[in-house]
Amino acid sequence: MRKSIFFQVPAVILLAAFSLAAQRMDSRAVIARTQQDISRSLEFERHKGKEIARYDNAQHHLSEFDKKLTEGHFDKGKLDEAIDDVKNLVEHNTLDPDLRDALNADLRDLRVLRAEHDH
What's the pTM value of the predicted model, to 2 decimals?
0.70
Q: Check: CB of residue 33 under 8 Å from CB of residue 104.
A: no
Integer Cα distance of 81 and 65 in angstroms: 9
Percent over 70 (pLDDT), the chain: 72
Q: How many residues does the chain have?
A: 119
* Confidence grade of residue 89 (pLDDT, cut at 50, 70, 90): very high
Count the alpha carbons within 13 Å of 1 in the hemisphere toward its beta carbon.
Answer: 0
